Structure 1
Amino acid sequence: MNGRRRKQTLGMALGALTLGVGLLGSAYAAGDGTTQSPAYQSSIKVPDQRNGERREAAKLATLAKIDATRATSAALAQVPGTLRRVALDNENGNLVYSVEIKTASNAIKDVKVDAGNGAVVHVDTPSDEEEAEE
C-alpha cells in the first residue's frame, strides 16, 4: 500500500505542476510579456495603422487638436533651449508631438507633448542610436 500511495501522491503533484505551468503559459500568451514603452498615455489614441507611413502621417495630422507651434511652446516652457526638430508621432497608440531641444548644456532632450491638449507628458534623452538615425 505504501508504494501505491506514493505513486498517487506523485501523480497528483505532477498533475498540479502541469496545470500550473499551463495556466502560467496562457496568462503569458494573453499579454505579450513585455512592458509597454512609453509608459505615458495621451488624450488621443491612434488606431493601429497598417497603410504605410505616408498615409499614417496624413491621418495623424487630422487627429491632432493642437499644432506644432503650440507643442513647441509647451516643450520649450518645460525644457528651455534651442529647437532642433518637431514631429507628430504615434507612440504605441498615443498621439504626441516629439519635440527635440538642445539645452544650454548641449544636452539633447526629447519632449513628448500631448497632441490633444498640449500637456508635456514625458521628457527623455535620446540614445546615441536614435541620434545616429537622424
Structure 2
Amino acid sequence: MLWKQNGVKIIAALGAVAVGAGLLGAAYAESSGDSPSLSYRSSIRVPDQAGGEKDEATRLAALAKIDATRASSAALAHVPGTVLEVGLDNENGNLVYGVEIKTASNAVKDVKIDAGNGAVLHVDAADHEENEEE
C-alpha cells in the first residue's frame, strides 16, 4: 500500500515536470527569432492573405499612401547617410518601408517608415550579411 501511494506521488510529480517543461519550451519558441514581436505599429494594417510574393508586392503597393522617394527622405532626415535599398514590406501585419542607410561611420541602419504617413517607426542595425544571402 505504501509503494502504491509513493508511486502515485512520483507519477504526479513527473507529470508536473513534463507540463512545466512544455510551458517553458513554448515560451522559448515564442521569444526566439521565429516570431518576432515588434515594438511599433503602423497606420496601415495588412490582413493575412494567401498568394505568392508577386501578388503580395502588388497588393502592398496598392495599400501604401506614400512612395519610396518620400520614405527615403523621411529616413534620411532621421538617419543621415546614403540610401542603399528601399523596400515595401509587411512586417507582422504592419505596412512599412524598410530603408537601409549607410552612415558616415560606415554603419548600416535599417529604418522602418510608416507607409501610411511617413513617420519613422524604428531604427536598428541592418543585418547586411543576411540581406546579401537573399
TM score, norm. by length of structure 2: 0.76
Report the more deviating stretch, 118-127 or 80-89: 118-127
> Within 2, Cα distance between the matches of 1:5 and 1:56?
65
- Quote the offset at 1:68 in angstroms: 1.9
Map Cα deviations across residues 54-84 of structure 1 (whole Å, 9 max, x no partner): 1100111122222222211221111001122
Which residue number in structure 1 is paired with residue 39 of structure 2? 40
Q: Distance in 2 between matches of 1:38 and 1:129?
A: 22
- Deviation by residue 1:18-63 (Cα, 9 ceiling, x = unmatched): 256347637966x792233252332222222431111100111122
Give the total of aligned pairs. 130
- Listed as ranges, the matches of 1:82-97 within 5 Å are 82-97=82-97
Structure 1 moving runs of 4+ over 6 Å: none
Cα contact 1:42–1:116 (8 A) shared by 2: no
Contact 1:38–1:91 at 8 Å: present in 2 too? no
Q: Matched residues in 2 for 1:131 and 1:33: separation? A: 24
* TM superposition shift of 1:86: 1.1
What is aligned with 2:107?
107
* 1:59-98 equivalent positions in 2, closer than 5 A: 59-98=59-98
Residue 47 of structure 1 aligns with an amino acid whose one-letter code is: P
Unaligned runs of 5+ in 2: none
Determine whether 1:15 maps to 2:12.
yes
CA distance in 1, matches of 2:95, 2:53: 14
Q: Percent identity?
A: 57
